[in-house]
Structure 1
Amino acid sequence: MIRILDFLFALFGLLFAMPFLVLLYIIGLFDTGSPIFMQERVGRNKKPFTLVKFRTMKVDTASVASHLASTSSITPFGGFLRKTKLDELPQLWNVLKGEMSLVGPRPGLFNQEELTKARDEKRIYDVRPGITGLSQVNEIDMSTPELLAKTDRQMLDNLNLANYFKYIVMTVSGKGSGDRVK
């Protein structure tokens, strides 16, 4: 049921948001010259997939978890995208392809060994990663791997249709600040 909802929301989201996505892309061209950011992430069953987002940091920023990046690397337009969470919209493509869900644990990087270990212990990789979830709306990010894995497990154990919609509504209405940058 959740996969069907994911597919339909992603499909209609991409179709209806297309003019807006094109506008953000064009503004991003002027901001960084390269408005799309693609990065290999850890997916379901620890299989790699390429996550797609709007770029919020300078092109030459090191490929590290957000909490390890410097705030000076965020562009002015990127700051707006992060604050409004519009940088996440291209991930609807990942959802449409079945690599992600709208709701699930945020996908980490392969070099985040402490997070990968904590999530392995709690069987987080049994499910598709998500755009948002319980951790995101409670401002728990990848800088606290044990707490993140524990919260992800709690979300998965209690995930039902009501919570699925609750996390989406909370995210769209601005709950949670997104990934922190030091």
Structure 2
Amino acid sequence: MESRELIFQFEKKRNYFRIKSLLGKMLSIVGLTLLSPLFLIVFLSLKLTEPKAPVLFKQIRNGKDTKEFNIYKFRTMHVDAEDRMEELVQFNEVEGAMFKMKNDPRVTKIGRFLRKTSIDELPQLINVLKGEMALVGPRPPLPRELTEYSDYDMQRLMVTPGCTGLWQVSGRNELSFDEMVELDLTYIKKMSLWMDLKIMLKTFFVMVVPKNGY
């Protein structure tokens, strides 16, 4: 689909975007409140294993229209993870502008559990509250990944990125970069509140019965 066609569709969905943003912020407040006991457990678990390391991990990502922002996650890797990235690029298990490694040596034992259950992603409710992310949408890429994007791939960044999306509930890490792009563009073309609700419900199931997360 051409970018101009998507822009035309967006014009017709102004109310959808307003409602989605408002609901996202309201649900984030509820979620952060209800999940506070779980956040405390994760905080204590991470501090007991690595007392001097930070609990939250901040990373620059590109959001809507390539705007940069800091994404929040529970730390799942050792503190020198970014410094070791260059030596591991050769072991990338997916093609395209994305890095995935099933047995990444940088991931901690607790981190593997947090990733498999997607609990590490929950602090992104803060990003939703700040308006940098939505509950549902394409995943925000890293700046280094963006340098490899084609004009076609860049269409993913025409909407606010999400905590979860069609890619995450359709195979996640088992899918290629190109498959992820196609799923994201399918979502952008068909997005609606009903579709968002279905994706969120599927996300809950994926978290309860984790699969393809690493």
**Which of the five TM-score ranges fits, normalised by the shorter chain?**
0.7 to 0.9
Partner of 1:137 in structure 2? 169
> Would you say the 8 A contact 1:115–1:142 is kept in 2?
no
Aligned residues: 178
Give me the whole-angstrom Cα distance separating, in 1, the residues matched to 2:162 and 2:168.
10
Please list, as runs of the form range in 1=range in 2, the aligned pairs for 1:58-69 lying within 5 A after superposition: 58-62=78-82, 66-67=99-100
Q: Aligned pair in 2 of structure 1 residues 141, 43: CA closer, same or farther (>3 Å)?
A: farther
Q: Aligned pair in 2 of structure 1 residues 68, 54: CA closer, same or farther (>3 Å)?
A: same
| TM-aligned CA deviation for residue 18 of structure 1 | 1.6
Give me the whole-angstrom Cα distance separating, in 2, the residues matched to 1:49 and 1:150.
24
Structure 1 portions without partners, runs of 5+: none
**Which deviations, in whole Å up to 9, do the C-alpha atoms of 1:112-159 show, x marking residues without a partner?**
123464421xx2212110011111111245983322222101011111
Give me the whole-angstrom Cα distance separating, in 2, the residues matched to 1:59 and 1:177.
26
> Would you say the 8 A contact 2:64–2:158 is kept in 1?
yes
Task: Indicate the percent of aligned positions where both proteins have the same amino acid.
Answer: 32
> Would you say the 8 A contact 1:140–1:147 is kept in 2?
no
Instruction: State TM-score, norm by structure 2.
Output: 0.75
Partner of 1:97 in structure 2? 130
Larger radius of gyration: 2
SS in 2 for 1:151: helix
Pick which of 105-114 and 137-146 moved more. Answer: 137-146
> Would you say the 8 A contact 2:118–2:213 is kept in 1?
no
2:188 aligned with 1:168: no
> Would you say the 8 A contact 1:41–1:107 is kept in 2?
yes
Letter in 1 for 2:43: Y
> Would you say the 8 A contact 1:142–1:148 is kept in 2?
no
**Which deviations, in whole Å up to 9, do the C-alpha atoms of 1:10-40 show, x marking residues without a partner?**
1111112122212211211223422211100
Partner of 1:48 in structure 2? 68
Structure 2 portions without partners, runs of 5+: 1-18, 86-97
| TM-aligned CA deviation for residue 174 of structure 1 | 1.3
Partner of 1:28 in structure 2? 46
Give me the whole-angstrom Cα distance separating, in 2, the residues matched to 1:117 and 1:142.
24
> Would you say the 8 A contact 2:56–2:72 is kept in 1?
yes
Please list, as runs of the form range in 1=range in 2, the aligned pairs for 1:114-133 lying within 5 A after superposition: 114-115=148-149, 117-120=151-154, 123-133=155-165
2:106 to 55, 59, 73: 73
Partner of 2:57 in structure 1? 37
Q: Aligned pair in 2 of structure 1 residues 28, 116: CA closer, same or farther (>3 Å)?
A: farther
| TM-aligned CA deviation for residue 161 of structure 1 | 1.6
**Which deviations, in whole Å up to 9, do the C-alpha atoms of 1:73-110 show, x marking residues without a partner?**
21111111111110011000000000000100001101
Pick which of 46-55 and 134-143 moved more. Answer: 134-143
Give me the whole-angstrom Cα distance separating, in 2, the residues matched to 1:131 and 1:147.
18
SS in 1 for 2:143: coil
2:139 aligned with 1:106: yes
Q: Aligned pair in 2 of structure 1 residues 58, 29: CA closer, same or farther (>3 Å)?
A: same
What CA RMSD, in Å, does the superposition of the two structures yield over aligned residues?
2.3
2:24 aligned with 1:6: yes
Partner of 2:115 in structure 1? 82
